[in-house]
Amino acid sequence: MLNLHAIDATFRALAEPTRRAIVERLSLGPASVSDLARPFDMSLAAVVQHLQVLEECGLIRSEKQGRVRTCRIDPAGLGGIADWVAERRSLMERRFDRLAAILAEPDETPPDETPQT
- Residue 53 binding its own copies, by CB under 8 A: no
- Choose the contact partner of 50 out of DNA, its own copies, none; CB within 5 to 8 A by kind: DNA
CA dist 117 and 73 (Å) reads 41
Q: Closer CB to its own copies, residue 109 or residue 116?
A: 116
Contact partner at residue 44 from DNA, its own copies, none, CB < 5 to 8 Å by partner kind: DNA
Choosing from 3, 5, 11, 34, the residue that interacts with DNA (CB under 7 A) is 34
Instruction: Give the HSE-up count for residue 114: Cα atoms under 13 Å, Cβ half-sphere.
Output: 2
Return the CA Rg of the chain: 21
The distance of closest approach from Cβ of residue 54 to its own copies in the complex, given in angstroms and rounded to an integer, is: 13
Binding residues for DNA, per CB under 7 A? 12, 15-16, 18, 32-34, 37, 41-46, 48-51, 53, 64-69
